Amino acid sequence: MSHPAGRVLALLELLQTRHRSTAAELAGHLGVDERTVRRYATTLVELGVPVTADRGRYGGYRLHPGFKLPPLMLTDDEAVAVLLGLVVAEQVGLSTEQPATATALAKIRRVLPAALADRLAAVQEHLGFTLRRREPERGPTSGTLLTLASAARHRRRVALDYRSWRGEQSHRELDPYGLVFHSGRWYVTGHDHRRGEVRTFRLDRIDAVAPGAATFTVPDGFEAVAWVTRSLAGVPYTHEVEVLLETDLVGAQRRIPPSVAELTATTDGVLLRARAESLPGMAALLAGLGCPFTVRQPDALRAAVAEHARLLAEWAARPAGGQTPSPRRPLD
């Protein structure tokens, strides 16, 4: 950064990121002497940037509190970090309203140097994700997310209008304990005064939210992520499943997400409790765990596991070539 104008902008960037810096510290970062730092600070003041010089032993240079800086300045590395963050947010569903992410990406691309923009475009064009992308849905509004986050921070009750998966409308008074992003969706969990218990709500189904004056206290030891994943695993399905796994809890947790089943360590192994719509699908999951297990309930799951084993044996017995494969069995 040999050009004086570049060093003046670098000084402004340093002042943005630090509450106060001495002339010696700034000189060391810029590679100039302290007299030159003072001259650069004067230049910023002449440009309308309120740089304050505090005298004394603990003095230094700082920006006036509350000053709204000119357009954001990013280094190349910072621009790459922001752009990749937006790309990932869009891919996994972390973003809020759909147009916001796309317009933010477009704005950053427009101000990037041409060479850097081209290299980043190459990354975006050839970047793959192992996480399966959800079908496009209406994400939560930024206002909903920010209002709930502020209420959770300041322990303020909120009033919200909620729409269930059936389309039923309801008005709720909620003490928001925390926000969770899970599997492509945003959730808020907290004490629902209508039901008198802790509940979980999807942000994209909240039509309106307003902060209130009442305050609340989060129960000791409450973990929003653990609660949300457990509540999603407990969503009503056709079958109640209990299976004893002959493994340890750590090994089971590596293979089974908390949103799929509740796992409890016992003297005989790990007890898996889950709700399932498809028993063939549950049988395939159990077969892929790589450990012995005992089905406790339902009895129909035993038949599904036996059928899965029969199919595996049939497929394993196929010769290496020449046999016409049987019609594909749909995945459950």
Q: Above 80 in pLDDT, residue 284?
A: yes
Q: Whole-angstrom Cα distance, residue 244 to residue 293?
A: 5
Pairing of strands 269-276, 262-266: antiparallel
- Contacts for 159-167: CB closer than 8 Å, 24+ residues apart: 159/209, 159/210, 159/212, 160/201, 160/206, 160/208, 160/209, 160/210, 161/206, 161/207, 161/208, 161/209, 162/201, 162/205, 162/206, 162/207, 163/205, 163/206, 163/207, 164/205, 165/205
Mean pLDDT value across residues 299-310: 94
- pLDDT value at position 259? 73
More confident residue, 247 or 274: 247
- What are the CA-CA distances from residue 70 to residues 79, 237, 263 (Å)? 17, 55, 53
pLDDT tens, 72-92?
Answer: 667 778 778 888 888 887 777
Give just the sign of the alpha carbon dihedral 141, 144, 148, 151. Answer: positive
Q: What is the pLDDT of residues 221-248, one digit of tens each?
A: 898 988 888 777 666 667 889 999 999 9
Percent of the chain with pLDDT over 90: 35
More confident residue, 241 or 259: 241
**Within 10 Å of residue 34's Cβ, how many Cβ atoms?**
14
Q: Say whether pLDDT at 1 is over 50.
A: no
Q: Give yes or no for residue 323 having a pLDDT over 70.
A: no
Structure tokens at 132: 């399966």
Q: For a pLDDT cut of 70, what percent of the chain falls above it?
A: 86
Residue 140 or 324, more confident: 140
Whether the per-residue pLDDT at 61 is higher than 60: the answer is yes
Please give the average per-residue pLDDT across 42-46, as a whole number. 86
pLDDT per residue over 130-166, tens digit each? 766 655 556 788 888 889 999 999 999 999 999 987 7
